[in-house]
Amino acid sequence: MKNTERQTLPEMLAEHPFLNGLEPVYLEFIAGCASVDHIDPEEHILIEGQQADNFYLVHEGEVVLKTFLSPSEGFAEIQHIMNGDILGWSWLVPPHQWHFSAFATEPTTLIVINGQQLREQCEKDHDFGYEIQKRLMLVIGQRLRMTRKHLR
């Protein structure tokens, strides 16, 4: 991915693999409810069980997903998420709570998309909603496979 210092938000969105091939009108909508955030190493992004308000596109850096097993076992690492991947699908699914915890493992640049606005647009425009859900289902399937692999 390119250096974020030289790119506009619409350029960053257009080049992100999750949004590849999305119609320009949809990219324009997403740009209107998105911002860029720079995360420091070890900084928490998501906390399992808390309200899921945002959807994240990883532009640069790395994030680790973990799930809490028990007080005696602590956390199990599920997956490392890198440039070009997404973080968080719980914003779409009631009760809108995170299923994993996530934190940056290195300096990370995220595109933060307002989950409520995205949900509302998915409800209004079913073609848009279907396109987003198709893309998310691929990620959910991958995360489920990784969770099973790590818990064996």
User: Does a structural domain hold residue 139?
Assistant: yes
Residue 77 lies in a domain: yes
Q: Please indicate, yes or no, if residue 134 is contained in any of the structural domains.
A: yes
Distance, in Å, from the CA atom of 39 to the CA atom of 1, rounded to the nearest integer, reads 17
- The three-class DSSP label of residue 151 is helix
Within a domain: residue 121?
Answer: no
Q: Is residue 130 part of a domain?
A: yes
Structural domain total, the chain: 1
For residue 83, what are the contacts with CB-CB under 8 A and spacing of at least 6?
Answer: 1, 58, 59, 60, 61, 62
Structural domain includes residue 145: yes
Q: Which domain holds residue 53?
A: 4-116+126-151
Those residues with Cβ within 8 angstroms of residue 139's Cβ, 6 or more apart along the chain or in another chain:
18, 85, 86, 89
The edge-to-edge listing of strands for the beta sheet with 62-70 is 44-46, 101-104, 62-70, 74-82
Residue 45 sits in a domain whose CATH number is 2.60.120.10
Q: Is residue 23 part of a domain?
A: yes
pLDDT tens by residue, 90-130: 999 899 999 999 999 999 999 999 999 999 999 999 999 99
| Residue 93 within a domain | yes
Note the pLDDT tens digit of each residue in 6-64.
789 999 999 999 999 999 999 999 999 999 999 999 999 999 999 999 999 999 999 99
Whole-model pTM: value is 0.88
- CA separation for the pair 21, 2 (Å, rounded): 18
